[in-house]
């Protein structure tokens, strides 16, 4: 089975601020991550994630000193 071409990653809002969750749409790239799964990125190239067939997400840093947050949900998109 082919992996989805896109995912919607939902990130928690700012703790204690009652902020809404952030949703970022990522698209599959031609590369694979350290776990051998497809790498997805947003249009800016800043949000990058390796997503397994089981929907497990590993965020990938795109710059120095970056500590990426992990999404609370990864939803495949058509």
pLDDT in tens, 12-27: 877 777 778 889 999 9
| Number of independent structural domains in the chain | 1
In a domain, 58, yes or no: yes
pLDDT at 7 exceeding the cut of 90: yes
Q: Would you say the pTM of this structure is higher than 0.75?
A: yes
In a domain, 66, yes or no: yes
In a domain, 20, yes or no: yes
What's the pLDDT tens digit per position in 28-76? 999 999 999 999 999 999 999 999 999 999 999 888 777 777 788 899 9
Contacts of 27 (CB under 8 A, 6+ apart): 5, 6, 40, 41, 42, 43
Please, are residues 26 and 42 in contact by the beta-carbon 8 Å criterion?
yes
* Predicted local confidence at residue 67, as pLDDT: 76
In a domain, 1, yes or no: no
* Predicted local confidence at residue 1, as pLDDT: 66
User: How far is 29 from 11, CA to CA, in rounded Å?
Assistant: 21
Residue 67: domain span: 6-77
């Amino acid at each position: 089975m082919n992996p989805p071409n896109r995912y919607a990653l939902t990130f928690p809002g700012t703790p204690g601020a009652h902020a809404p969750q952030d949703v970022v749409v990522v698209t599959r790239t031609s590369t694979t991550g350290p776990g051998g799964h497809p790498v997805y990125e947003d249009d800016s190239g800043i949000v990058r994630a390796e997503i397994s067939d089981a929907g497990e997400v590993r965020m990938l840093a795109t710059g120095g000193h970056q500590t990426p947050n992990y999404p609370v949900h990864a939803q495949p998109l058509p």
